[in-house]
Structure 1
Amino acid sequence: MNFTRTLFPLSMLLLSGCVVGPDYQKPETALPAKFSESKSASADNVTLNPWWESFRDKRLNDLVHQGMGENLTVLQALQRIEAAEANVIVAGAGALPSLGASASGNVSGQDGSYLRRTTGSDHSQSKSINAGLSASWLIDFFGQYRRQKEAANASLDAAYDDVNVARLAYFSDLVSSYVNARYYQEALALNRKNLVSRRETLKLTNEIKEAGAASSLDVLQSEGLVNQTLANLPALETGFHQAANHIATLLGVPASTITSSLLKGSAQPMPRYATRTGIPADLIRNRPDIRAAERRLQAATAAIGVAEADLYPSIELGGSIGAARNFNARVGSLSSWSFGPSLSLPIFNGGALKAQVKIARSEAEQQYLTWKSTVLNAVEEVENAQTALIRDYQTVAAQRKVVDTFDQTLVLARESYRGGASTILDVLDAERNVADARLSLAAAIRQLARDYVSLNVAIGGGSAIGTPAVVATK
């Protein structure tokens, strides 16, 4: 008998340390040693790098910091953290004992006279009070609640990473919109400059016509180029206002406040520093979407253990204490109590429990494939952005030379036209070439800035700036 009393608690202790289901292992996938157009050197932690400061644009820096705590998408992701924290508490509560209390009172009676009540009437009344206290504890023999808490903590970590994903999307959208706004302003300025130049050509053509050396056709051709330039302005103005309106939406402020501040104008943003991309393996550490996918894989792995725990018996320890008092009975009070374990054993359920385990394993495998796909897509994004950025610098440098060449060509064409050695068509062609070259340069600068944004976002740059501290109950 003493042997049994000793063996039973020990066996209970051993069982309570058992956790079914696979333990989480960090996923792996084959990655290249380096990106195709960079050195094989690991980069520092870029998640706290404010890469937009490389543009050296104070207005842009102010907008980024202004919107960091106002962007609605980021705020929504922050709210999901609170829900995930609550889920951790819910998951852990199942493994703890529960205690409940109840109380009730009752008064009943019979009266022979409803309208008149006298001491001699047929009248009786009964009063009673009941109170109870109950407790229960489901012993977590197979780690069901521990796996649930593990899954909840992993989901909480994923919620924090989702905030960083939203913040990266905000940085990308805001800075790209600012780049677009400044491009449209530059394009407007260039078209207005071209308009001045073409009006000068029109004036020159009219003067030469009055001197008898030009025809009405020359004047009409010059006038057509002026009108064509005027026709380009409204679309560019629309593009600027739309970019400014989108910035206002990202910041949650009235559009007029952003538009008025941007109308002062500024040079097109150009990055002043190169971006260190590191190696593909760095992305697993720096990209928040990869980290979030891994945390969801961990949660799905823990869910396998939760499903497997349902295949095994469960024991619940329960007890209750009750008290009742009837003021009209001969025995005024009565108390009762009970305590003991209850066993639940799954015997036949049509294979539903085993099917749940298969479903959990399939979902974990899907999460692994999602994680792997996220990693490979991240590598591709970095490769594409880096390749584009390298060639953007080459394009901008070449386009600057094109602008210089056509500027000189235009000067020579006007001098030749004044001297009668060439026609107005030569001047108009030269003006057209200059205008197109300047606009192409502005477009190339915009593309360079946008690809710089894409590259820094692709490596996870700045994603942890402003991230709240993780306070999860492990």
Structure 2
Amino acid sequence: MKIANALLPLSMLLLSGCVVGPNYQVPPPLVPAKFSKSETPAGNVTLNPWWQAFRDKRLDSLVAQGMNQNLDVLQSLERINEARANVVIAGAGGLPQVNASADGNVQGSDGSYLRRQSGVSHTETKSLSAGGDASWLIDLFGQYRRARESANASLDAAYNDINVARLAYLSDLVTSYIDARYNQEALALAKLSLSSRRETLKLTNDIRTAGAASSLDVVQAEGLVNSTLAELPAYETGFRQAANHIATLLGLPANSVTAELTRGTAQPWPRYDTKIGIPADLVRNRPDIRAAERRLAAATAQIGVAEARLYPSLSLSGSINASRTFGDTATGNLTSWGFGPTLDIPIFNGGERRAQVAANRSAAQQQYLTWKQTVLDAIEDVENALIALRKNYETVAALRRLVTSYEQALGLARESYRGGATSLLDVLDAERTLSQSRIQLAAAIRSLAANYVALNVAIGGGSSVEVASK
């Protein structure tokens, strides 16, 4: 009766399902109502294949190929397998543990002493035994439930980490493709300038032959040709380095896609705008924010795991063993068993368990600050990309007009030079400014495309898209 009275409170506690530690709640995001460019909610942008706005089939093919081969994405997939296994490990401690064992043994002896004593010279004994034991740690204060809660939250974070890796891959691959096409365009423009300057050099030589130009004019024209030749290697190097990096992102050896990319095309240019939505959309769409929130949930559950270790633990255990012996003189069976509860009460541990609770609380607070910083960084990313993209469009429009003006100026300068109305210096200046303005336009288009990528990545666009290799 006394034992029943002692176990009754523990039984009631077990039935009540007591779980210590704070119950996790998703923190409210502290975000502004809108971005600097007012927008309505954009909904789920994670399924938006924004790179298709460039209308570049080669780029689409690279994205599809790399999404299935990129090593960072594959590593994230393996981390999901690890997190799934950790969920099983976390819950296993709260389940009954059953083990079984068996063994056999043969013993014998030989010698003249046995013959003198018993008339036999050999004795042999055989024994067989088998047994089993079971134990169950009763999760009185929710230690294993909190551990499972933490492991499941970590699994959720691992799923989001895949999308973080996808966004990083998309940003790196598409930006590298933009760089490759820029260097191809700049190389083509430099060769166009080289052709124009060689034409000017030929014109200068013809005029000098006619006695209307000096050797200084010829030397200056030759110098401009040579300066253009010096620009070509940098663009060729830039293209090959970008192509090599694309190959690495595809999980291929460097230089394996260079030949295919050498067949150049126009610089990527987005054909439609991006709906950025409102800051609250970021919390739903950015995988790094979701992953940070899930890690906060995992760290919060670990507080409960540590607090549960401050309280007593109850375990039930039992065992049964059976053996049979076969011998020359006797044969017999023996069975033994035992069952009972064990109560473990922590009394003194040097403050280690309470220190662990404090450490876990600090870890959870750190994860909260990380989540908050991730949200703020995401808003800054969108605002920066938004203003940069808006100004890029203005810059490209102005440079297009500038290139048109300088093309006209070069034609007029050449006509005047042929007629002797201007000097060669005017022609060379016109060629130089036209060449520079063309390169500036190509660079501005590259910046516009790169900021378009940055804006879509900043809002979490395309992070959940599943693409198939073509």
Q: Settle same-fold status: TM greater than 0.5.
A: yes
Name the count of aligned residue pairs.
Answer: 462
Q: What is the CA-CA distance between 1:237 and the residue it aligns to?
A: 0.4
Counterparts in 2 of 1:297-316, with a 5 A limit?
A: 297-316=296-315
1:164/1:288 contact within 8 Å kept: yes
Report the equivalent of 2:84: 85
| Superposition pairs of residues 278-289 of structure 1, within 5 angstroms | 278-289=277-288
Give me the whole-angstrom Cα distance separating, in 1, the residues matched to 2:6 and 2:307: 29
Q: How does 1:101-120 map to 2 (within 5 A)?
A: 101-112=100-111
Question: 1:169-248 to 2 correspondence within 5 Å?
Answer: 169-248=168-247
Paired amino acid for 1:169: A
- C-alpha displacement at 1:250, in angstroms? 0.5
Cα distance, 1:327 vs structure 2? 1.1
Q: For residues 372-417 of structure 1, what are the alpha-carbon distances to aligned partners after superposition, in whole Å with 9 as ceiling and x for unaligned? A: 0010011111110101000000000000011011001000100110
The RMSD of aligned alpha carbons is: 2.0
Equivalences for 1:440-451 in 2 at 5 Å?
440-451=440-451
> In the alignment, which residue of structure 2 is the partner of 1:157?
156
- Per-residue CA deviations over 1:347-388 (Å, capped at 9, x if unaligned) read 011111111100010000000000000100111111101010
Q: Secondary structure at the match of 1:99?
A: strand
Residue type of the partner of 1:334? L
What residue in structure 2 maps to residue 359 of structure 1?
Answer: 359
Structure 2 CA distance for partners of 1:317 and 1:14, relative to 1, 3 Å: closer
1:103 Cα deviation (Å)?
0.7
Offset at residue 2 of structure 1 (A): 12
The 8 Å contact of residues 271 and 452 in structure 1, kept in 2 or not, is answered as: yes
Q: Does the 8 Å CA contact 2:313/2:343 hold for their aligned counterparts? A: yes
Contact 1:71 1:251 in 2 (8 A): yes
Are residue 332 (structure 1) and residue 365 (structure 2) matched?
no
Matches within 5 A, 1:4-83: 8=8, 11-12=11-12, 14-15=14-15, 17-36=17-36, 38-83=37-82
- Rounded to whole Å, the distance in 2 between the matches of 1:340 and 1:71 is 55
Letter in 1 for 2:276: T
Tell me how far apart the structure 2 counterparts of residues 60 and 315 of structure 1 sit (CA, whole Å): 61
Measure, in 1, the Cα distance between the counterparts of 2:126 and 2:120. 19
Report the Cα offset of residue 330 of structure 1: 3.5
Deviation at 1:3, TM superposition (A): 12
TM-score, normalised by the number of residues in structure 1: 0.94
Measure the CA separation in 2 of the matches of 1:256 and 1:343.
Answer: 67
**Residues 72, 456 of structure 1: alpha-carbon distance in 2 compared, 3 angstrom cutoff:** same
Residue in structure 2 matched with residue 471 of structure 1 by the alignment: none
> Do the aligned residues in 2 keep the contact of 1:16 with 1:139 (CA within 8 Å)?
no
Q: Which amino acid aligns with 2:192?
A: K
1:91, CA displacement in angstroms? 1.0
- Give the TM-score taking structure 2 as reference length: 0.95
Identity %: 67
Partner of 2:270: 271
Counterpart contact for 1:286–1:460, Cα < 8 Å: yes
Task: Please say if residues 284 and 291 of structure 1, whose CA atoms lie closer than 8 Å, have aligned partners that are also in contact.
Answer: yes
- C-alpha change, 1:253 and 1:3, in structure 2 (3 Å) is closer
Secondary structure of 1:129's aligned partner: strand
Residue of structure 1 equivalent to 2:420: 420
Matching residue's letter, 2:338: S
Q: Look up the SS of the partner of 1:327 in the other structure.
A: strand
Structure 1: where are the runs of 5+ without partners? 114-118, 468-474
Q: Which one-letter code corresponds to 2:435 in the other structure?
A: A
**Superposed displacement of residue 112, structure 1:** 2.2
The residue that corresponds to 2:344 in the other structure is: 344
Aligned to 2:127: 128
Shift of 1:465: 1.3
Counterpart CA distance in 2 for 1:134 and 1:297 is 39
Matching residue's letter, 1:222: A
| Offset of residue 15 of structure 1 | 4.9
Alpha-carbon distance in structure 2 between the residues aligned to 1:295 and 1:111: 71
Deviates more, 1:285-294 or 1:458-467: 458-467
- In structure 2, runs of 5+ residues without a counterpart are 113-117
Partner SS, residue 125 of structure 1: strand
Name the counterpart of 1:382: 382
Residues 16 and 143, structure 1, Cα contact 8 Å, conserved in 2 = no
CA contact (8 A) 1:16 1:142 kept: no
Paired amino acid for 1:455: L
Question: Equivalent residue of 2:234, what SS?
Answer: helix
- Give the Å deviation of 1:326: 1.3
The one-letter amino acid paired with 2:94 is A
1:64-102 superposed Cα distances (whole Å, 9 cap, x missing partner): 001110000100000010000011111111111111101
- 1:202-237 per-residue CA deviation (whole Å, 9 max, x = no partner) reads 000000001111000000000010011111111110
Instruction: Kindly state the Cα deviation for residue 123 of structure 1 after the two structures are TM-superposed.
Output: 2.6
For residues 464 and 9 of structure 1, what CA distance do their matches in structure 2 show?
A: 51
* Residues 239-295 of structure 1, C-alpha deviations (whole Å, 9 max, x = no match): 000100110111122444411111111000000111111111111100000000000
CA distance in 1, matches of 2:234, 2:120: 97
- Give the letter aligned to residue 361 of structure 1: R
CA contact (8 A) 1:287 1:460 kept: yes
Check conservation: 1:15, 1:142, Cα contact below 8 A: no
Partner SS, residue 69 of structure 2? coil
Q: Is the 8 A contact 1:33 1:40 kept in 2?
A: no
Whole-angstrom CA distance in 2 between matches of 1:249 and 1:207? 51
Deviation at 1:29, TM superposition (A): 3.7
> Is the contact made by 2:244 and 2:256 (CA closer than 8 Å) also made in structure 1?
no
Structure 1 residue 336: Cα displacement: 1.1
Quote the Cα distance in structure 1 between the aligned partners of 2:7 and 2:373. 51
Distance in 2 between residues matched to 1:4 and 1:93, nearest whole Å: 29
State the match for 2:115 in structure 1.
none
1:342 and 1:6, CA in 2 relative to 1: closer, same or farther beyond 3 A?
closer
Contact 2:299 2:363 in 1 (8 A): yes
Deviations 1:283-311 (CA, angstroms, capped at 9, x unpaired): 11000000000000000000000000000
- Cα deviation for residue 6 of structure 1 reads 12
Matched letter for residue 419 of structure 2: G
The 3-state SS of whatever aligns with 1:42 is coil
- Give how far 1:120 is off: 6.7
Distance in 1 between residues matched to 2:295 and 2:198, nearest whole Å? 64
Give the direction of change, closer, same or farther, for the CA distance of 1:360–1:10 in structure 2 (3 Å limit). closer
The structural deviation recorded for 1:110 is: 2.1
